[in-house]
């Protein structure tokens, strides 16, 4: 199996969940602010994607293959 960018983003979201739990939103927000301050738009975009996946993890809205809303790889 080839690891895609989407897999990497999900892995980052899971890492945040594991290490920061309910404080993950604050951790992600701090990363985004730091990257914005440093003028790193690619990093900001990455962490916004992580933020989206993290939110899905926290609310239980995870797209599972074969379920409505899931997309084939």
pLDDT, tens only, 15-73: 999 999 889 999 999 999 999 999 999 999 999 999 999 998 888 766 665 555 545 44
Interatomic CA distance for residues 5 and 47, integer angstroms: 13
pLDDT of residue 7: 93
Convert 4-19 to b/e letters by CB count within 10 Å (16 or more is b): eeeeebbebbeebeee
Backbone conformation region of residue 69, classed left if phi is above 0, alpha if psi is from -120 to 50, else beta: left
pLDDT of residue 73: 44
Task: Give the tokens for residue 54.
Answer: 């993290």
């Amino acid at each position: 199996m080839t690891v895609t960018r989407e897999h990497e983003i999900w892995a980052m979201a899971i890492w945040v969940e594991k290490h920061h739990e309910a404080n993950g939103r604050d951790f992600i927000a701090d990363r985004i602010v730091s990257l914005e301050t440093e003028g790193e738009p690619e990093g900001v975009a990455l962490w916004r994607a992580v933020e989206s996946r993290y939110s899905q993890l926290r609310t239980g809205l995870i797209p599972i293959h074969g379920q409505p809303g899931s997309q084939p790889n």
